[in-house]
Amino acid sequence: MEIRSKVLPTWCPGCTNFGILTAFNKAIEELEKEGKIDPRKVVVVAGIGCASKIVDYINLSSLNGLHGRALASGIGIKLANPELNVVVFQGDGDTYNEGIEHFVSASKENPDIKLFVHNNKIFALTVGQHTFTTEEDFPSKSLGQNVFTKPLNPILLALASGATFVARGYALWIDHLKYIIKEALLHKGFAFVDILQPCITFHDTRKFYEDRMYKLEDINHDYSNFEEALKRAMEYDYNLKQDSRIPIGIFYKTSRKTLEEGLRAKVFYRISRNLDPYILSHLKI
């Protein structure tokens, strides 16, 4: 199935969001060929921002939600129809500022949905205000001065909040990003990927990242080890320090009951106490 839609992108020419779009489309096409996913059962959900335009360029069922609330909409879709594969795309402003409570709650409750964050370290569509992951000393348009607070580390936050799949990718290392996206799509539970996505117009961090990134697979990182995941997560604090080393890949992966499984068991218990055994035997829950 052709995943790329016919809609002409309005991203700036050369925007690194094109890398994420390509990696995602390739991941879905490959998983379909491998018989592991049915694209007709995939729903893509987005918030508002440059990042969120991505759903227009993907030829799958979609919903454009509110700024900061796409994750909540995605969880609602999954609870209403657990057979769907729900994928949420949000910006860093969407996720770590406007909608941070949904991020913590999804990490804790473990709905079986995927969250891909296009982290350009700014509110890009509104032309360059700082977000929670912007580094110190960045000249922020909303502050009218340089950022003076420490950035939030979303990998650490996800781990501390209980996320069952935590990864970081880079928008321009497309094959590596495709591998992470495929693993996330196949994970049962809440899968979170922070994608470093330099905004070439308002905050171009390409050279900084490319000089310092390394792949966790290359050091045989054991993603089942929580303490190791924390250690690797603390290696990069989202400031742009000269001596930074930036790990990308899968930090942590584990399995736990999903939100839908927990809730369905409760619903089934309530229904089963009141229903006739004949009707019960025909219920598909």
Positions that interact with ligand TPP (CB under 6 A): 48-51, 67, 91-94, 98, 118, 120, 122-126, 131
Q: Which does 167 bind (CB under 5 to 8 A by kind): ligand SF4, Mg ion, ligand TPP, none?
A: none
CB 64 within 8 A of CB 77: no
In the set 68, 74, 91, 247, which binds Mg ion (CB under 5 A)?
91
Report the residue number, 47 or 189, with the smaller CB distance to ligand TPP: 47
Rounded to an integer, what distance in angstroms lies between the CA atom of residue 70 and that of residue 20? 18
Q: Which does 12 bind (CB under 5 to 8 A by kind): ligand SF4, Mg ion, ligand TPP, none?
A: ligand SF4
DSSP 226-240: HHHHHHHHTT--SS-
- Residue at shortest CB range from ligand TPP: 91
Residue 144 CB, shortest distance to ligand TPP, in Å, is 16
Rounded to an integer, what distance in angstroms lies between the CA atom of residue 69 and that of residue 51? 14
Binding site for ligand SF4 (CB under 6 A): 11-12, 15, 17, 50, 120, 124, 199-202
CB 170 within 8 A of CB 178: no
Using rule CB under 5 A, residue 95 touches Mg ion: no
Report the residue number, 84 or 88, with the smaller CB distance to ligand TPP: 88
Residue 49 CB, shortest distance to ligand TPP, in Å, is 3
Could you identify the residue written with the tokens 């900084």? Answer: 208
CB 51 within 8 A of CB 121: no
**What are 139's strand-pairing partners?**
146
| Region of 9-17, 26-34, 121-129, 157-165 interacting with Mg ion (CB under 5 A) | 121-129
CA dihedral for 201, 90, 238, 189, sign (positive or negative): negative
Q: How many CB atoms lie within 10 A of CB 81?
A: 12
Interface with Mg ion (CB under 5 A): 91-93, 120, 124
